[in-house]
Chain A
Amino acid sequence: MKMTYREAVREGLRHVLKSDPRVFLMGEDVGRYGGAFAVSKGLLAEFGPDRIRDTPLSESTFTGAGIGAAIGGMRPIVEIMTVNFSMLALDQIVNSAAALRHMSGGQISVPLVVRMATGGGRQLAAQHSHSLEGWYAHVPGIKVLAPATPNDARGMLVAAIEDPDPVFIFEHATLYPVEGEVDDPFQPVDISRSTIRRAGTDVSIFAYGGSLGKALQASDDLTTAGISAEVVDIRVLRPLDEATILESVSRTHRVVVVDEMWRTGSFAGEISALIMEKAFYDLDAPVVRVCSAEVPMPYAKHMEAAALPQTANIVAAAQEILGRHG
């Protein structure tokens, strides 16, 4: 069965709203408007305003209210329009959601799900285009997911709502219209594991979210050049599934990490350091990172394209480490 990423998230929402009366969706314009990315379109009519709850423009407070409601026995899903706006809720996320369990000595779990759009590529300039999920992946106490396919988008959401801890799901905004195969009947997705999307022997390409498609395309392009590239979808940024990453390195001995964050302090840096610490002697070449350029995202199409990691950059990176260290 095929559906778009947008439909898949909606199906995930519908599934959890139907199966658990404690679940409700809350955020700006999720109801009447149908969601800024039309994800929740139709859900208001189906579930009513109590469970598809339009909020005021108060990111910090509706995120905090999600935390309180989760502790109070509900299973809230908070939608923050984009990761850029989640900065206004950063305090609630880092200082409360992530910390409450630990600082209460384990008395409190926060079964909260927060979804937000992330990423560039739509010419929305510097305040609507950034990828900051790696910042969240820095914080112990929360789980960070980045589904790249419709099947993961649906299945990870369902797994997230069953998780007793705060789970943050980053949906790359360019993925919403992308179609893909989904399991029928529905299968839950394991949110503790990364997954290998394409097996290969010469180089491992690690990617997640909006970069996965580019990594797969790069792998296709490399095949024509006679290079067998393995593509690993990281998809769970915290807690990180180190085993899948290290196993892949032990097979291919060469690594390209793709990440839409800025290179400095990027999540790709974390993956790279992990490999250096735990698989240094498996490497035949230095790890190469393909990240965003160090600029706030420009508006102009060609400039934005130049700032973001592209398939050609991934291909070039793989060829370079194979050529130079082949």
Chain B
Amino acid sequence: MAVQRRKPAKRKRTSARPPKRGPGVPASRDHALSLVREMMLIRRFEEKADELYSLGKIRGFLHLYIGEEAVCVGAMRGLTSDDSVVATYREHGHAISRGISPGTVMAEMYGKVNGCSRGRGGSMHLFDVSRKFYGGHAIVGAGIPFAVGLALADKMESKPHVTACFFGDGAVDEGEFHESMNMASLWKLPVLFICENNLYAMGTALDRHESVRDIAAHARVYGVHAEQVDGMDVLAVEAAVERNAKAIRRDGTPRFLEILTYRFRGHSMADPVLYRSKEEVSEWMTRDPISSFLLLLRNAGLVGDVDVEKLEKSVAAEIDEAVRFAESGEWEAVEDLTRDVYTPAGARS
């Protein structure tokens, strides 16, 4: 007997096709320029990191975020400095857009003691508690319960803060994702879950790792309000995060954003990217978050060539300074090897 093949169910968006740009308009020229500058800064920072990696100055795993800059830049603008941020191992952009200086991030990647985690964390474990930037988690999914706990603390202390938790589409397959959705919803915790759906978990495409490819639907199962957002559009991300963070502060319940994005590079520097076609990548690159935003601004008469040139120059200077800061940093003394395993006596109440 012939096996009947079931017709594939209609999916929201599972193909590799990039979304069309929405009709967003920036609030002001200055605002627009600052968004562009920050995205450029992160892009150039990572291009530099790529170069330094080839030179052996940076070692370990290096996961570039190139192509996804609109997500972190937009998202951080929608949060306040009192909100907490939890990120993954692909977090250079998140760290920089949270205000951690590119110099201390670069120094961290060099492994120098003037890095933001004293050179103990490297690229995957960037921390800055003064900015409520809580890492830098390299176990897929592990940052999600952590964020739930930060939000629980805020709620128990009646603080009006939101914890923004970034993770990839791959993390949705981990039990902790589901446990956390359930718990955050059940306990009405102020968490903004931000899934950066870049269509791949390392080399495994979404349609090969998810039974239900509409990721927002996973959150809705737990009664969590969920939206999909165009992650190549910095204004759309900014607006969505701002609106949802506000709603969380108002209602005290978690929310979920599935941000549709794409990484232009491999998963890490070790990835030869054999699992997707050049055509797919170049199609997404037509939606490059930086150049497409610049195009929008040019068309609106908000920026011209001179502005772009100026921006590039100042960004280049900042990157040079970051590298100089990292190069001139010290190596931690080996005698300090076992410091910061336990809290020194009297260090904190």
Contact = CB atoms under 8 A, between A and B. Distances in A.
Interface string A102-130: 11111111000000000000000000000
A132 to B, nearest CB: 20
Interface in A43-92: 50, 55-56, 58, 60-74, 76, 91-92
Contact of B145 (A50, A61, A106): A61
* Residue among A24, A63, A65, A74 facing the most chain B CB atoms (10 A cut-off): A65
Interface string B170-196: 000001100110110010000000000
A244 interface: no
Nearest to A66: B149
A177 interface: no
Interface stretch (B17-25, B70-78, B116-124, B271-279): B116-124
A69 B347 contact: no
B290 to A, nearest CB: 31
Interface string B127-157: 1110000111101001011111111111011
* Residue among A60, A64, A100 facing the most chain B CB atoms (10 A cut-off): A64
Given A24-B156, A69-B152, A106-B340, A61 B127 contact: no
A62 to B, nearest CB: 7
Interface string B211-252: 000000000000000000000000000000000000000000
Given A103-B120, A105-B340, A68 B183 contact: no
A164 B347 contact: yes
A162 to B, nearest CB: 9
Contacts, number: 148
Nearest to A140: B341
A223 interface: no
Nearest to B153: A72
Contacts of A263: none
Interface residues of B, number: 47
B88 interface: no
Contact of A61 (B118, B129, B180): B180
Interface string A152-164: 0000000000001
A104 B347 contact: no
Contacts of A74: 152-153, 156-157
A71 B144 CA distance: 14
Contacts of A106: 118, 120, 339-340
Contact of B343 (A66, A76, A164): A164
B78 to A, nearest CB: 21
Nearest to A74: B153
A11 interface: no
Given A61-B179, A71-B134, A72-B150, A102 B343 contact: no
Which 4 pairs from chain A and chain B are nearest by CB?
A68-B149, A64-B145, A72-B153, A105-B118
Interface of A: 24, 50, 55-56, 58, 60-74, 76, 91-92, 95-96, 100-109, 140-141, 143, 164-165, 239
